[in-house]
A = this chain, B = another copy of it.
């Protein structure tokens, strides 16, 4: 049996790979990390662990077939991470993982390498404890492109439907209700990522010579962005809310009871003020209402000092989060119509990079119930059933193509700085997570 030190040292090795999937300069790193992962999966006793290339980054598949008459659980996770910029805001280097108090700190610590490692260590321990006689069959699917929209995963799952056949999938890429309170996520928002460039004139101009008589692309883009929300905090794209599901007073009362309070959300966010659509709690705004975030904005000169220039181009990156029953393809079309009209005085380039449908998971599924029982026993609290504002494209694909229930049981915290500097993972819950997954496997086998 590994000691705690061994486990942490392995996890540190895993995090140390700068597997930024959006960085084309890291292609080799992705292969190195996938190879390391496959090797590690073989070392814990998996019968087979293979690195599969995809159209972008490789993924790792592994399996342990115990008894064909028993059910099969598929553990899904991802080894790729978000970019670590801005580097200077990290207290310790993002790819030099460090233990700080009860936390392990580094890019990917909680999203998702730490949580992938919970699955692996749970299976490793069960394999040792049962001397290889697992109560069910185990498969791992660990991809390398989750943060860029799970590119290539849909094709892989479609092509390898037979290989991936299973009875349920366990996904740990979400957060708990609180540091001592487990959670099972039953709702994820969909997403749509779009990049925009506008051009207002043929070239950049001198801000003295021409200041006051031509359209500044930075100002023009700012006006456009300012106009995307109205005074009620609603998105102004015509037809945007057409397919948004409405909820009854009873359902909303339930959200208010089980959901996260405004105060708690604001505290987790370190936000000065609330913001958003009037008439909804902050939890509802991220759970049952769609949103639109400017994730990148750029125009003119951004270096040190001064450049007297009127920029002729400006770019923005937009991230939509969608809810049932919005269709990302339809939303993209509405956006296109809207921008073509509103920005008809500019040369406009609109490209979309990825999208996913919103997902809902049935709560009465036996595998969901197995995970709920396991987490209640380990954490001594009933798990909360949460709606999450985030998106896991893989969940959409697994659910749709394999036609299986998905158990979304996460062990991260809201304050773990996922996608931001100083990303971290709370180690006591790393170890409790391992125990929870072990029990989930056992109850899933019994339930069946």
Instruction: Please give the residue numbers on chain A whose beta carbons come within 8 Å of chain B beta carbons, in ascending order.
Output: 21-24, 82-83, 85, 147-149, 175, 189, 191, 193, 200-216, 218-219, 221-229, 265-266, 269-277, 282-283, 285-286, 289-311, 314-317, 319, 321, 345-347, 353-354, 388-391, 414, 417-421
Contacts and interface: CB of A to CB of B under 8 A. Distances in A.
Contacts of A222: 221-226, 294, 297
A323 B310 CA distance: 19
A294 to B, nearest CB: 4
A203 B420 contact: yes
* Copies of this chain, count: 2
Contacts of A321: 207-208, 211-212
Contact of A305 (B271, B316, B353): B353
A209 B302 contact: no
A389 B211 contact: yes
Q: Which among A218, A223, A316, A388 has the highest number of chain B CB atoms within 10 Å?
A: A218
B208 A271 contact: no
A334 to B, nearest CB: 18
Contacts of A82: 307-309
13 contacts: A82-B307, A82-B309, A85-B301, A193-B306, A201-B269, A202-B269, A214-B276, A222-B224, A226-B227, A295-B308, A297-B298, A298-B298, A307-B419
A299 B296 contact: yes
A82 B226 CA distance: 31
A315 B193 CA distance: 23
Contact of A420 (B204, B289, B306): B204
Contacts of A193: 306
Contacts of A389: 208-212
A189 B211 CA distance: 10
A228 to B, nearest CB: 8
A300 to B, nearest CB: 4
Contacts of A293: 207, 211, 216, 219, 309-310
Given A286-B211, A295-B301, A345-B273, A205 B306 contact: no
Nearest to A194: B306
Contact of A299 (B294, B347, B414): B294
Contacts of A200: 271-272
